[in-house]
Every structure is written in C-alpha cells, then in structure tokens.
Amino acid sequence: MKVSKGATRMTQFKRFGVISKVLIKHGLGDIVERISDRATKKLKTPKKGKGFGGGLISPTRIRLVLEELGPSFIKLGQLMSTRADIFPPEYIEEFKKLQDRVPPVLFEDIQQIIEEELKRPLNEIFAMINPESIAAASVAQVHFAKLFTGETVAVKVIRPGIRKKIREDIALMYYFSNKIEKSFEIGSLIGTTNLVEEFERMVHKELDMYVEAGSIERFANNFKDIDEIYIPKVYWNYTTKSVLVMEHIEGIKIDQVEVLSAHGIDPKEIAMIGLRAFCRQLMEVGFFHADPHPANTIVMYDGRVSLIDFGITDYLDEETMLQLANLLLGLSEHDYDMVMEGLLETGMINAETMDLKSFRMDLKDMCEPFFGRSLQTISVKDVYEQAIALVFKYHIKVPRNLLLLSKTFIQTESLGKILDSDASLLEVARPYAENLLKQGYDARKVLKNIGKDTLYMGKFMKMMPKLFYDALKHLAKGRPQVEIWHTGFQEIDEKIAKSLNRLTVGMVISASVIAAALVLNSAQKVIEFKLNLLGLKTISITAILGLTGYTIATVLGIWLIFVIFKSGKL
C-alpha cells in the first residue's frame, strides 16, 4: 500500500483495518480477500470476477458501509448518486438516502479555528455568537452571530482536522479503487479510479471557503437586476479559507407550504420564481446552483426567494448553453430533428457508431407521453430514468456537468410538486431558450469571437520570428528538412495546360487571319511572277504569303473546333 503525503504509514494501516472490518461486518469479506496484498500474492494471475463476490452487491449494503465509514465516504456516495450513467436506478435511489448525519463539533474547537483564522479573540470579532450550531454537515457547520455593527450573520466553519482526514481517506480510496479495477470486471466498467478523481476535485472545492464565497458573489452579480431573487452578502473582512461569514437570511423554508400560505405568500408563485431562476442560470449566465434542496432555499417574508448554500455549483460554456437551448426548444415544439441535431452537436450521439433512426424512434416514444402535462402529472424522475435507460442502451457518454444538471432538474421538479405547482417546465424554459438562440449569433458575440481570434493571431505572429529563426538554424546545421507533398493537383495542371494551348492556338489563328488580310489588301507588290494558271497572268510573293496565312488559319480553326466538340465542353 502506498503512503500518501500528510499521512503516516501507521495511520493508513489502522484506517485500512477499520475499512476491512466494516466490509466484513456487512458480509463483504470477499472483497477484502480479493483486493488484499496477501490474496494477490497467493494468486499469480488474479481471476477477475464479474461482480463483487461473484455477483452484484445489494445497494443497501453499500449504503450502510459508506455511512459507517464516515464523512468522506458519505460524500463519495452522494457523488455516486449523481452518476446514473454508470449505476443502475436501484443503486442511485439507495445512494440518495445518504445524508451528512454527523454530530456537531464542540464549540471550543470551532472557536479555536475562528480565532486562529482571523487572528484575534472571538469577543473582538462578534458582538454575539450562538454556541449551538444551526446546521452541521460532514465538512462544515454553521453558527448564528451578530457583528458589532448590528448585522446578523451566518458563520460557516470547516470542521477541525477534516482536511487531513479526507486526504487520508482519499489515499485509501485510490488504493481500493485500483485493486477493485484489477480484481473485478465491474470495477473496470464503472471506472472506480475516475470516480475517486472526480470526488477529490469536488471535495477540495468544498474545503475552501474562498471558493464558496466567490460563487456567492458571482450569483449576486448575475441576479442583481432580478428583484424576486435575493443572494446574501459576503463579509470578506471576516472570511478566510476555513471561515465564511455571510448575511443571515430570515424567512421560511421553501417546503413549509402551510407557513407560506399563513404569511400570505402564494406557493405556486414561489415555484414559478424557482423555475425562472433555474432557467436564467442555465440559459442566460451559464452558472448554476447544483443543490437546490429545501434546506438551501429560503422564502423571505416579503416573497423573495433566497439561496443560502453555494457549496455545489457548476458551469456551462456558451456552446453548451446553446446546445441545451436547442434541445429544450426542440422538445417543446416536438421537433425531433432539432433535438437530434442538438445531441449530435454535444457529441453525446455519433452518427458513425449508432443507429440514429432507432434512437430517434426510442427518444420520441419516451418524450411524447409527457407533453402538455404540468409538474403535478409528470415526474422528471421518471423521464430521467427512461433517459438513462437510453444512455445505457446506446452507450451514450454524458458530460459530468450535464449529469449534475439532470440531478438539479429533479430537485427543482420535486420542489415544484411540494409547492403544488401546475407549471410546465418546458413552457417556462421556452422563452429563455428562444432568447438565447436569437442572441447566440448577434453582433456582440461575433465581435467577441473576432476579438478572441485577433488575440490568438497576435500571439501566433509574436511567435513567428522565433519559429522562423529555429527553422533556419536547423537547416543551416543540416538537420532534416521540411518537405511538403501535395496530391490531387495533376489533373488541374493538365486542364490548365490544355486551356492555355487552345487559347494560344486561337490567338495564332486570329493573328494569321489578320496578317493575311493585311497582306492581300496591300497595294505594294514584292517580286511578281508571270503565270498562265486559272486565268492569272501574274502573282506576287505578298499574295502567296496572304493565301498561305488564310490556309493555316482555316486548318487550325477546323482542328480547334473539332477538339472542343470532341471534349464536350463547348
């Protein structure tokens, strides 16, 4: 077993022992045997099994193992719940049950982190801070506090020792994933090592409060002109890598429908605000909140909606936004040619490797039954599961951000149902998609692209002198020369040569006719001969030359006309 940086061999050995015991406890001892170094030494060529222990493991067992192993593995399971492209539906449903059920850290430890990060005593930072946490998760916990200015804030603090713990667990995850891929065929199919790499990228973002603070600021800027959405303020003077201080939002959790109604707030309108905000994120700004569950969404008492947790966000580039708009608009108009074109542009389907006709029919059969129905009569989850079935059937590769987006679609739909919304997601999305496609090729974007191309050209031109100098230096030293070979131009050369020859002959004919006419019409006679032929008594040299020119011109003209007629290109 390799030893990772920041973790001693003894620590990893103990943790490996704990993981092995948990696996054996839940009836997965075969996995420990197959991936342990001892088992590998016994088998010179380890036999690959199709599944774990000769078959697929119960998804409940996997969930129980991940829960018992703690925060790092729980978060890995939460990531796995978004990968419906590699896990069957029953596993996805089980992984979704994984929650960060962890007890809060003692306030003394939280106080120590805050004081170390902000370099001063706690009583000089906050006028008041509640020792009891208002939210506790695997990575961080949140406390209510007041600044000396009177503003109420939420203080989010990274749990002590969690970074080291996650580093050690990630090292073991890599160890186990490599062994599983070598020992089990299903490990190779899933790509367990790639899954761990994806988890490592995701969790390191959550461990940096500067990243989350930056996401909040970006959302605030994106929605600054939207009155129905409110994004909390970040207090940068109190924010560090381990501490995030943001405005505390007073309000009602979005799933408390009766409380909303009691305050005169229409739940259906709140659902529409959420749908519009979601569409704006996807098709106007390309930056979306990927975890809009009820605990992260607060309805303020004035009817505005506020997002309060930005630990999981993701991006869509302009090209993906346009492709997504094409897909949504194509679906809303039952235009499957447009949908197929959008899928081809994303690269998810390939005309050379799959039966597009069959796929188009299956896609239409899946989508048609859901048209014209509201959120109350349609389940995005059902659509999602059917879509994933197509993904498996046609071996479609779905980009990671679109998988995360599909999870967000389901969460948004579930919130709409809780709020008793009768809205149609496609109808809400349609004007945003139409507007995006209209603006997709407007003058500003064209100028922007020209600007980018100009920048690249400038960089290229800046490199040209050095590249030219290097090429000359290599040539001077007798190093291999650059040779350019071209093919397919021979026929063009022959056609050009023939055309030039015909043009030349035509010019010679014209010149001969003109010269002969001038000579015959000339009054000057050069050396006359006396003849008694065809009634002629005398003929001059000039007349002979003129007649010869006419004869040559006539012969060449007849030949040229014949050649042109023969080629069929008159």
List the Cα angle 215/216/220 in 5-degree steps. Answer: 115
Quote the CA–CA distance of 74 and 174 in Å, as a whole number.
16
Tokens in use for 71?
A: 């925060």
Question: Quick check: 368 and 331 in contact, CB under 8 A?
Answer: no
Quote the CA–CA distance of 47 and 54 in Å, as a whole number.
11
DSSP 540: E
Tokens in use for 542?
A: 């000039």
List the Cα angle 313/315/317 in 5-degree steps. Answer: 175
For 268-292, b/e burial (b = at least 16 CB within 10 A) is eebbbbbbbbbbbbbbebbbbbbbb
pLDDT at 2: 44
The candidate with the shortest Cα–Cα distance to 187, out of 26, 395, 66, 31, is 31
Torsion, CA 158, CA 161, CA 165, CA 167, rounded to 10: 70
Task: Report the SS3 class of residue 49.
Answer: strand
DSSP codes, 284-351: IISEEES---GGGEEE-TTS-EEE---SSEEE--HHHHHHHHHHHHHHHTT-HHHHHHHHHHHTSS-T
pLDDT at 489: 52
Quote the CA–CA distance of 499 and 501 in Å, as a whole number.
5
pLDDT at 235: 97
Catalytic status, residue 291? yes
Helix axes 59-69, 71-80, angle to 10 degrees: 140
Quote the CA–CA distance of 214 and 87 in Å, as a whole number.
33
Question: Quick check: 137 and 100 in contact, CB under 8 A?
Answer: yes
Pairing of strands 305-307, 229-230: parallel
Question: Quick check: 1 and 37 in contact, CB under 8 A?
Answer: yes
DSSP codes, 412-431: HHHHHHHTT----HHHHHHH
Tokens in use for 19?
A: 């993981």
User: What phi and psi, each to the nearest 5 degrees, are found at residue 141?
Assistant: -135, 160
Question: Quick check: 436 and 283 in contact, CB under 8 A?
Answer: yes
Taking CA atoms, 537 is separated from 292, 522, 532, in Å, by: 116, 19, 5
Q: What is the 3-state secondary structure (H, E, C) of 197-232?
A: HHHHHHHHHHCCHHHHHHHHHHHHHHCCCCCCEECC
Domain residue ranges of the chain, discontinuous segments joined by +:
9-100+170-203, 106-159+208-248, 253-440, 444-484, 495-567
Question: Quick check: 270 and 384 in contact, CB under 8 A?
Answer: no
Question: Quick check: 398 and 254 in contact, CB under 8 A?
Answer: no
Quote the CA–CA distance of 315 and 287 in Å, as a whole number.
5
Q: Is the pTM of this model over 0.75?
A: no
List the Cα angle 30/33/37 in 5-degree steps. Answer: 155
Quote the CA–CA distance of 283 and 275 in Å, as a whole number.
12
Per DSSP, helices labelled H in 88-191 are 89-95, 107-118, 122-125, 162-183, 185-190
pLDDT at 43: 39
The residue annotated as part of the active site, out of 169, 266, 291, 362, is: 291
Question: Quick check: 77 and 100 in contact, CB under 8 A?
Answer: no
Tokens in use for 519?
A: 């000579």
User: What phi and psi, each to the nearest 5 degrees, are found at residue 313?
Assistant: -135, 165
Place of tokens 């007073």: 250
Quote the CA–CA distance of 449 and 461 in Å, as a whole number.
18
List the Cα angle 283/288/294 in 5-degree steps. Answer: 125
- 275 residue type, one letter: L
Which architecture characterizes domain 106-159+208-248 according to CATH? 2-Layer Sandwich (3.30)
Quote the CA–CA distance of 326 and 311 in Å, as a whole number.
29
Tokens in use for 270?
A: 């709140």
Question: Quick check: 391 and 406 in contact, CB under 8 A?
Answer: no
Quote the CA–CA distance of 205 and 290 in Å, as a whole number.
14
User: What phi and psi, each to the nearest 5 degrees, are found at residue 530?
Assistant: -90, 125
Quote the CA–CA distance of 169 and 162 in Å, as a whole number.
10
Quote the CA–CA distance of 551 and 558 in Å, as a whole number.
11
pLDDT at 220: 94
pLDDT by 10-residue block (mean), the chain, 570 residues: 48 75 79 62 43 61 84 81 72 77 87 95 95 88 95 95 87 83 71 82 87 93 93 96 95 91 92 90 87 84 91 83 82 81 78 84 81 61 72 75 72 75 77 81 50 57 66 64 55 62 66 63 56 55 66 73 62
Tokens in use for 535?
A: 């009634």
pLDDT at 422: 75
CA 392 from centre of chain: 20
Per DSSP, helices labelled H in 419-533 are 425-439, 443-476, 490-520
